[in-house]
Structure 1
Amino acid sequence: MHLLNADLHSHSNVSDGTLSPQALAQRAHAQGVELWALTDHDELGGLAAARETALDLGMGFLTGCEISVSFAGETVHVVGLGFDAGNAALAAGLAGIRSGRRERARRMGEALAAAGIPGAFEGALRHVGNPDLVSRTHFARWLVEAGHFAETHEVFRHYLASGKPGHVPHDWARLGDAVRWITEAGGVAVIAHPARYRFSPSAEYALFSEFVAHGGRGVEVVTGSHTAAEQLQYADTALEFGLLASRGSDFHSPAESRVDLGTLPDLPGRLTPVWGALAARVQRA
């Protein structure tokens, strides 16, 4: 039986990836992806170019974005798939999230200067493709470029993760608002890479319970940051909460990402893929 090579989580330089939407679509196609979604952080600006290139190449395409959410003291990401990209409420909600990013980035630059690394804000801006979306990843790239670290993952561990000198907390969207924006725009809301969050079992149960109560319908089971054991764990979570299962590399950059587009293992066969529920929303040439 042919298993669909779907990659429903990736980032372009419209948020914190390094490739243009067009180049990202071309790379996905070259890697054998058959159904692809661009899911830039809190931003829809790359979707039109991504869609045009994907359809020209013969790939199926789903609209996507990754919304930043604050929940129980952690930043959680909710992926939206298959929504109407022209929905006004969704666009307004994402614009509200983006509006706080630049000030947060200035404060991160000040915090890094206080820790002995001046010029980080200006350096991060050199890596930004969208001035409304300055992220921790852009700071990490500059710190590598400036010779402070060998790779971006080290920067996060030492300076940018929660509790580290360059981390600046921020209030993102509420979980219920993010799910509502996606679902009212006709899409499906998916909890991204759940193993990355530092929740206790009870807090994680609360996250999934509230997510479902708000109308969330999916969870990423197979993703670039999940180990084989974590894939099995969140397959069980999907079954426990009656959630659709998603698959996405979370690809950002050829030089940085652990997993390339289209190269993830298949979803476990006992799960219901999210793309089945989105069949009517898949765009094709």
Structure 2
Amino acid sequence: MPALHALTNADLHCHSTFSDGTLSPPSLAERAALNGVEVWALTDHDEVAGIGQARTAAQALGMGFLAGVEISVSFAGQVVHIVGLGVDETDPRLIEGLRQTRGGRERRARDMAASLAAVGIPGAFEGALKHVGNPELISRTHFARFLVESGHCSDVGEVFRRFLKEGKPGFVPHRWAALGDAIRWIRESGGLAVIAHPARYDFTPTEEFALFSEFKAHGGLGVEVVTGSHSEAEMLRYADMALEFGLLASRGSDFHSPTESRTELGSLPALSGRLNPVWMALADRVQ
């Protein structure tokens, strides 16, 4: 395992076929290592079943590994994602919390399919399921891949704009975990909670301040500053937010697929030297 330092090429946010990614955990590990990643985390949505494969592959490649997860949370009427890093994926409290969070995905997916059928797109549930295999983990991304595959849209971005965002024909809300519960599950399993890609949420300044304040009050310790969906200006802004709230800074591509993701594994800019990297605080959890 490489020695950790502030400029370590850490990529602490990506997804495999165990949630809504298109590559297996071993394939992701190989891709990360080829791109110079030194410390890597697999953070599938509401699922830790791929961690064992990911750890084994990372260790075989000489890459440091952090067990991770990305938990979907409802906050101020929106879905917010909280990444857990350095978790114990065998912790029964974490496993049960994730099981509860996944519950309802199939019902939501069937409602989404019915909404799409009403606007002339039949067979969406079965089409989306081909891309995931497990109804408990079916998501909007799987519907998006079906709509591209079936010729209704040219790419995943178009699907979300036309069909899957709030107010569009295929959007169906889902009640996710509470913020405090998600952070508690992460902490009880020995991990550290991080707000994922904060610029993606459509919060007012007051709502965003409330998110960061509640997150910190519940024991959250980090925020993604450098991530695939952040512009340079947003990276600067959330660097300032990290310092304002005394949070550790994380870095992760949020990689899902070679053909869909905005940013390649391991290709993000470095964190600012004025920030405290989250991986340094998790040195004893890197495997």
Which position in structure 2 is the counterpart of 1:199? 203
Alpha-carbon shift at residue 2 of structure 1 (Å): 7.5
Is the 8 Å Cα contact of residues 6 and 280 (structure 2) preserved in structure 1? Answer: no
Q: In structure 2, give the amino acid aligned to 1:276.
A: M
Which position in structure 1 is the counterpart of 2:69? 65
Matched, 1:28 2:32: yes
Alignment of 1:256-271 (within 5 A): 256-271=260-275
Which position in structure 2 is the counterpart of 1:169? 173
| 1-structure distance, mates of 2:134, 2:34 | 26
- Provide TM-score, normalisation by structure 1: 0.98
Question: Secondary structure of 2:135's match?
Answer: coil
Q: In structure 2, give the amino acid aligned to 1:29.
A: A
Is the 8 Å Cα contact of residues 6 and 277 (structure 2) preserved in structure 1? Answer: no
Between Structure 1 and Structure 2, how many residues are aligned? 283
| 2-structure distance, mates of 1:153, 1:35 | 29
Alpha-carbon shift at residue 132 of structure 1 (Å): 1.9
1:135/1:56 Cα in 2 relative to 1: closer, same or farther (>3 Å)?
Answer: same
Alpha-carbon shift at residue 131 of structure 1 (Å): 3.5
- Provide TM-score, normalisation by structure 2: 0.97
Which position in structure 2 is the counterpart of 1:214? 218
Match of 2:279 among 272, 275, 281: 275
Match of 1:77 among 75, 81, 105: 81
| 2-structure distance, mates of 1:2, 1:80 | 20
Match of 2:160 among 134, 156, 159: 156
| 2-structure distance, mates of 1:16, 1:103 | 18
Alignment of 1:220-231 (within 5 A): 220-231=224-235
Moved more, 158-167 or 243-252: 158-167
| 2-structure distance, mates of 1:269, 1:167 | 41
| 2-structure distance, mates of 1:88, 1:274 | 25
Is the 8 Å Cα contact of residues 163 and 170 (structure 2) preserved in structure 1? Answer: yes
Alpha-carbon shift at residue 250 of structure 1 (Å): 0.1
Structure 2 unaligned regions, length at least 5? none
Which position in structure 1 is the counterpart of 2:184? 180
Sequence identity percentage: 69
Match of 2:103 among 99, 104, 117: 99
Q: In structure 2, give the amino acid aligned to 1:178.
A: A
Q: In structure 1, give the amino acid aligned to 2:145.
A: R
Matched, 1:119 2:120: no
Matched, 1:236 2:240: yes
Which position in structure 2 is the counterpart of 1:190? 194
Which position in structure 2 is the counterpart of 1:252? 256
Q: In structure 2, give the amino acid aligned to 1:112.
A: L
Alpha-carbon shift at residue 129 of structure 1 (Å): 4.3
Q: In structure 1, give the amino acid aligned to 2:149.
A: E
List per-residue Cα deviations over 1:224-267 (Å, max 9, x = no partner): 00000000000000000000000000000001001000000001
| 2-structure distance, mates of 1:115, 1:270 | 51
List per-residue Cα deviations over 1:64-116 (Å, max 9, x = no partner): 00000000000000000001111110000000111211111011100111122
List per-residue Cα deviations over 1:159-202 (Å, max 9, x = no partner): 10112110000100000000000011111000000000000000
Question: Secondary structure of 1:132's match?
Answer: helix
